[in-house]
C-alpha cells in the first residue's frame, strides 16, 4: 500500500432589503484532462469544452456519506478553500468564499446548474447577491465540480474566484423520494439562550416515458434562527441590563439586546422536463418557483425601574424588526447536442423575476419606556427587478473527437434590472404595499453585457496540451436613478469594452504526474446594485457609487499533482493582481456602520493550496483527506483612501480574505450500507476594513477565526430507506462572521426512495 504524508491538519432608511450582512474533500479529482490514471469529473461539460481549470469534485454518494445536508449549499462546504457563509438553516443569503476572494464577493464567482447560471449578478454582497440555490433540491444533486480561477474563455470575469458546476440527475425510470429532516441548535450568548429548531420536508418524483423525462421537486423548510444581530448602543443607556462591550474597532458598543431572531417558512417548487428530439439532440425546460415568508423579532435586555422590559429609545430594535414576503420565479430553457462527432453545440436562456419582494419595518421605537414601535414605517421593495441571460456555444473537432484540436466558441448576452423603492407608510403592519405612496429612497438602473469568446485546446503531443482562449466583452450601465427624500438625480451612463486572454499548458510527464501552468485575465463589471442600490442591514448601511469602473484581474497558477488508485496529492501556487478592485469600506458614522463602494488601485493575492487524500488507510474503507490554503492578500496601492484617524490602507490585508484555511476529513465505510465521517474546518482572521482597524474579536460585526468539527453517520437499510444523524459544530465553538454563527446543532433525517 502506498502512502503519502498528509498536509498538517489543522443608508439610512434606505432599502432595508436584508436583515443581515457581512461569508469533503472530493473523492477523486484531476487538474486537467490528460492521459494517466483519473476519474472523470461529475459534469461532462468539463471534458466536452476542454475546461482547463484546476478542479475538485464531490459526488452524490460522498455528500450523503459525509455531510449533514439540509440546504443545497451544504454540499460544498468541505471543498478545498471554500467557506459557505450560511448563518442559519433557511438562510436566504448564503454566499460562499473561494480561494482568493471573500464572503462579500458574490459577483466574483459563478454557479451553474446543468450549465444554467443561477448566480445573482445583480449584486455583489451578502443580501440579495447569493446564488439562487432554491432552483435545485438536495435530492436532485448528482455531484458538484469546483473550477478554480478565470482560465476558461467561456466564462466572464465573474469567474475570477471560480466556477461551481452542479450536475443534477434525470431519472430513466419511475422514481419517488421522500425525506424528513429535523435539526435543533443550542445557542447561548450574552443574555440570550435557547434551542432553535428547523424542519425540512422534501419530496421528488421523476420518470422517463419514451423520449420524455421529467423530475418534480418540492421542498418546504420552517426554521427558527439564533440571533443574527446583537443590538448595541454607542451611548450610555439609562436602564438596567446594559452589557458593556466594544465594537470591532474598539469604540463603545454596549449590548442592549438581541435582534434578527428569524422565523422563516420557505418553499421551493421545481419542475424539470427534457425531451430527446433525436438520438443526439435534447431540449430541456426548468421552471422554479421560490417563496419566502420571514419575520424578524428582537429581545431586549433592558428593564425600566419597575422591572418591565423596555427598548430604552435604542433605534436598533426597530431596524432588526421586519416582515418579509418574497415570491421569485426562474425559467430556464436549453437545447443541447451530443453527436460524438466533429460538431456539438448548445443554446441556453434564463429569466429570473422578482414577482413580489417587500420588507416591512417600523421607522423607529416609541418614545418613553416599554417595547413599542412607532406606528409609521418603511416598505422596501424589489418587485420588478430581475435578469435575463442568453448563451450560444459550439465546439468543433476538425480532425475528429480524438484529434489534435478542440475549438470552442460562443456568444453571451445578459441584462440586469434593479428597481428598489422604499416607501414611507402610516402603519408598518397594515398599510398597502406602497405605503402612502411617498418615496423615502429609490435606487434603479440597468446593466447589459454582450460577449464573444473563442478557445482552442491543442494536443501538441499525447502528453502535452496547450489551451488558448480570448474573450471580448462590451458593457454598459444606464438608466441609473437615485432619490433620497425630495432630492433625486439621474446617474451618468457608463460603458466599457475589454479583451481577456487566457492560456493553460498541461504536461502529463509521468502516468501518475501532471504539471500545469495557467494564465488568465478577467474583467469584472460593477453590478447594478453596487452602482445604484442603497441597502440597510440592521444597523449597517451600504451606499452605492454610480461612478465605479470595472476591475481587472491578472491570475496565475502553477499546479503539480500526483495520483494513483490509493492516494492523491496536489500543490497549487497562485497569484492574482487586481487593478481597480471593487471593494467596500465599512466605518462608523453617528453610531452606525456605513459601507461605501470604491475602486482600490491595486490588490495582490498570493499563496498556495495543498490537497491530499489517502484511501484504505490501515483498514479497507477508511480514508483521510486534508486541504490547507494560505493567502497573503495585500492592498498594494490605494491613493484614494481617506481616514478620519489618519490610518492607511496600503500594505494592509484585503478585506474578507482570511490568511489560513484548513479542512480535514476522515471517512469510514465498513460496507456499502454504513458510513461514518468526521470533518474539521479551520479559518484564520479576516478584516472588514481597508485599514484593518477592526481588531476586536467576538463582537457584533467582527470576523473571527474559527475551528469547527462536524460528525455524521448514515445507514442504508430495507433497500429503499436510509437514516442519517449528525452534529454540526460539535464543540459549540462561538464565533462571529459579522453575525454570531450557529452553536452546536443536532441533525437527523429519514429518507425513502422507491
The vertex-148 CA angle with 142 and 152, nearest 5°, equals 95
605-619 pLDDT, tens digit per residue, is 999 999 999 999 999
Quote the cell numbers at residue 185. 441548535
Query: What mean pLDDT value characterizes the chain?
Result: 90
pLDDT confidence of 139, banded at 50, 70, 90? Answer: confident
What phi and psi, each to the nearest 5 degrees, are found at residue 151?
Answer: -105, 5
The whole-number pLDDT of residue 586 equals: 59
Q: What is the mean pLDDT of residues 189-212?
A: 96
Residue recorded with cell 454557479: 111
Element (H, E) at 176: strand 175-189
- In total, the chain counts a number of residues equal to 754
The whole-number pLDDT of residue 32 equals: 39
Please determine, for residue 186, whether its predicted confidence score (pLDDT) is greater than 90. Answer: yes
pLDDT confidence of 592, banded at 50, 70, 90? Answer: low
361-383 pLDDT, tens digit per residue, is 999 999 888 999 999 999 999 99
State pTM to two decimals: 0.91
Q: What is the mean pLDDT of residues 669-674?
A: 94
- As beta bridge partners, residue 96 has 84
Whole-number Å distance between alpha carbons of 95 and 97: 7
Please determine, for residue 34, whether its predicted confidence score (pLDDT) is greater than 70. Answer: no
Element (H, E) at 288: strand 281-300
The whole-number pLDDT of residue 329 equals: 97
Quote the cell numbers at residue 726. 449528525
pLDDT confidence of 402, banded at 50, 70, 90? Answer: confident
Please determine, for residue 587, whether its predicted confidence score (pLDDT) is greater than 60. Answer: no
Please determine, for residue 29, whether its predicted confidence score (pLDDT) is greater than 60. Answer: no
Pairing label, strands 592-614, 540-543: parallel
540-581 pLDDT, tens digit per residue, is 566 788 999 999 999 999 999 999 989 999 999 999 999 999
421-430 pLDDT, tens digit per residue, is 999 999 999 9
Please determine, for residue 135, whether its predicted confidence score (pLDDT) is greater than 90. Answer: no
Residue 78 CB coordination number (10 Å): 27
Chain CA centroid to CA 27, Å: 22
**Among the ranges given (28-42, 49-63, 245-259, 686-700), the one the predictor scored with the smallest mean pLDDT:** 28-42
How many contiguous H segments (helices) and E segments (strands) does the chain have?
4, 36
The whole-number pLDDT of residue 535 equals: 65
Structure-model confidence comparison of residues 102 and 629, the more confident one:
629
Q: In this structure, are residues 581 and 599 in contact, taking their beta carbons and an 8 Å threshold?
A: yes
Please determine, for residue 406, whether its predicted confidence score (pLDDT) is greater than 50. Answer: yes
At the topology level, CATH places domain 45-168+175-753 in: Maltoporin; Chain A (2.40.170)
The tally of CA atoms less than 13 A away on the side-chain side of residue 224 is: 12
Please determine, for residue 23, whether its predicted confidence score (pLDDT) is greater than 90. Answer: no
* Residue 591: Cβ-neighbour burial (10 angstroms; 0-12, 13-18, 19+): middle
Quote the cell numbers at residue 562. 500526483
Structural domain boundaries in the chain: 45-168+175-753
288-297 pLDDT, tens digit per residue, is 999 999 999 9
Residue 102 CB coordination number (10 Å): 27
Residue recorded with cell 431540449: 283
pLDDT confidence of 82, banded at 50, 70, 90? Answer: very high
**Among the ranges given (310-319, 410-419, 570-579), the one the predictor scored with the smallest mean pLDDT:** 310-319
Whole-angstrom distance between the N-terminal and C-terminal Cα of the chain?
39
- As beta bridge partners, residue 611 has 570, 627
The whole-number pLDDT of residue 536 equals: 57
Residue 24 CB coordination number (10 Å): 25
Cα dihedral 51, 63, 175, 91 in deg (nearest 10): -90
Amino acid at each position: 500500500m502506498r502512502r503519502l504524508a498528509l498536509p498538517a491538519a489543522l443608508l439610512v432608511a434606505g432599502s432595508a432589503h436584508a436583515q443581515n450582512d457581512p461569508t469533503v474533500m472530493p473523492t477523486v479529482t484531476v487538474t486537467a484532462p490528460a492521459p494517466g490514471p483519473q476519474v472523470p469529473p461529475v459534469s461532462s461539460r468539463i471534458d466536452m469544452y476542454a475546461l482547463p481549470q484546476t478542479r475538485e469534485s464531490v459526488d452524490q454518494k460522498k455528500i450523503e456519506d459525509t455531510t449533514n445536508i439540509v440546504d443545497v449549499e451544504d454540499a460544498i462546504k468541505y471543498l478545498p478553500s471554500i467557506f459557505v457563509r450560511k448563518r442559519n438553516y433557511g438562510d436566504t443569503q448564503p454566499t460562499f468564499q473561494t480561494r482568493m476572494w471573500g464572503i462579500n464577493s458574490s459577483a466574483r464567482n459563478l454557479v451553474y446548474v446543468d450549465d444554467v447560471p443561477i448566480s445573482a449578478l445583480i449584486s455583489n454582497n451578502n443580501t440579495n447577491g447569493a446564488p439562487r440555490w432554491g432552483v435545485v433540491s438536495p435530492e436532485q444533486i448528482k455531484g458538484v465540480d469546483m473550477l478554480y480561477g478565470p482560465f476558461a474563455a467561456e466564462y466572464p470575469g465573474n469567474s475570477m474566484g471560480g466556477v461551481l458546476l452542479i450536475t443534477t440527475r434525470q431519472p430513466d425510470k419511475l422514481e419517488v423520494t421522500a425525506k424528513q429532516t429535523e435539526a435543533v441548535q443550542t445557542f447561548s450568548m450574552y443574555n440570550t439562550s435557547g434551542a432553535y429548531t428547523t424542519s425540512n420536508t422534501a419530496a421528488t418524483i421523476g420518470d422517463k416515458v419514451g423520449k420524455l423525462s421529467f423530475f418534480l421537486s418540492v421542498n418546504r423548510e420552517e426554521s427558527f434562527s439564533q440571533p443574527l444581530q446583537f443590538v448595541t448602543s454607542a451611548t450610555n443607556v439609562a436602564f438596567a441590563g446594559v452589557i458593556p462591550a466594544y465594537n470591532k474597532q474598539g469604540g463603545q458598543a454596549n449590548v442592549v439586546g438581541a435582534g434578527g431572531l428569524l422565523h422563516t417558512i420557505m418553499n421551493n417548487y421545481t419542475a424539470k422536463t427534457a425531451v430527446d428530439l433525436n438520438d443526439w439532440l435534447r431540449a430541456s425546460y426548468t421552471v422554479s418557483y421560490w417563496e419566502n415568508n420571514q419575520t424578524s423579532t428582537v429581545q431586549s435586555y433592558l428593564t425600566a425601574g419597575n422591572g418591565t422590559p423596555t427598548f430604552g429609545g435604542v433605534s436598533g430594535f426597530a431596524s432588526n424588526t421586519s416582515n418579509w414576503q418574497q415570491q421569485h420565479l426562474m425559467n430556464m430553457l436549453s437545447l443541447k447536442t451530443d453527436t460524438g462527432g466533429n460538431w456539438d453545440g448548445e443554446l441556453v436562456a434564463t429569466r429570473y423575476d422578482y414577482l413580489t419582494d417587500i420588507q416591512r419595518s417600523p421607522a423607529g421605537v416609541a418614545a418613553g419606556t416599554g417595547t413599542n414601535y412607532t406606528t409609521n414605517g418603511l416598505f422596501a421593495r424589489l418587485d420588478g427587478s430581475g435578469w435575463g441571460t442568453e448563451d450560444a456555444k459550439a465546439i468543433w473537432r476538425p480532425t475528429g473527437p480524438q484529434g489534435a484540436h478542440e475549438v470552442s466558441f460562443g456568444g453571451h448576452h445578459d441584462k440586469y434590472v434593479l428597481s428598489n423603492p422604499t416607501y414611507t407608510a402610516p402603519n408598518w403592519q397594515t398599510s398597502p404595499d406602497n405605503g402612502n405612496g411617498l418615496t423615502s429612497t429609490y435606487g434603479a438602473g440597468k446593466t447589459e453585457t454582450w460577449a464573444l469568446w473563442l478557445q482552442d485546446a491543442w494536443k501538441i503531443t499525447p502528453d502535452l496540451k496547450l489551451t488558448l482562449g480570448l474573450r471580448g466583452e462590451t458593457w454598459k450601465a444606464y438608466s441609473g436613478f437615485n432619490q433620497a427624500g425630495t432630492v433625486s438625480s439621474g446617474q451618468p451612463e457608463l460603458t466599457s469594452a475589454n479583451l481577456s486572454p487566457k492560456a493553460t499548458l498541461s504536461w502529463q510527464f509521468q502516468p501518475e504526474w501532471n504539471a500545469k501552468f495557467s494564465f488568465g485575465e478577467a474583467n469584472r463589471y460593477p453590478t447594478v446594485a453596487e452602482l445604484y442600490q442603497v441597502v440597510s442591514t440592521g444597523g449597517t448601511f451600504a451606499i452605492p457609487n454610480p461612478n465605479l469602473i470595472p476591475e481587472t484581474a491578472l491570475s496565475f497558477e502553477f499546479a503539480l499533482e500526483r495520483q494513483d488508485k490509493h492516494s492523491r496529492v496536489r500543490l497549487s501556487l497562485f497569484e492574482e493582481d487586481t487593478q481597480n478592485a471593487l471593494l467596500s469600506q465599512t466605518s462608523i458614522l453617528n453610531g452606525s456602520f456605513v459601507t461605501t463602494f470604491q475602486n482600490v488601485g491595486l490588490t495582490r493575492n498570493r499563496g498556495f493550496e495543498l490537497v491530499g487524500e489517502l484511501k484504505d488507510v490501515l483498514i479497507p474503507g477508511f480514508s483521510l483527506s486534508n486541504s490547507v490554503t494560505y493567502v497573503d492578500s495585500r492592498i498594494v496601492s490605494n491613493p484614494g483612501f481617506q481616514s478620519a484617524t489618519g490610518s492607511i490602507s496600503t500594505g494592509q490585508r484585503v478585506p474578507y480574505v482570511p490568511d489560513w484555511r484548513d479542512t480535514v476529513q476522515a471517512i469510514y465505510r465498513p460496507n456499502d450500507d454504513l458510513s461514518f465521517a468526521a470533518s474539521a474546518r479551520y479559518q484564520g482572521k479576516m478584516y472588514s476594513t481597508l485599514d484593518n482597524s477592526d481588531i476586536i474579536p467576538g463582537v457584533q460585526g467582527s470576523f473571527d477565526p474559527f475551528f469547527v468539527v462536524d460528525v455524521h453517520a448514515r445507514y442504508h437499510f430495507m433497500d429503499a430507506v436510509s437514516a442519517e444523524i449528525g452534529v454540526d459544530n460539535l464543540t459549540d465553538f462561538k464565533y462571529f462572521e459579522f453575525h454570531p454563527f450557529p452553536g452546536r446543532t443536532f441533525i437527523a433525517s429519514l429518507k425513502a426512495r422507491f
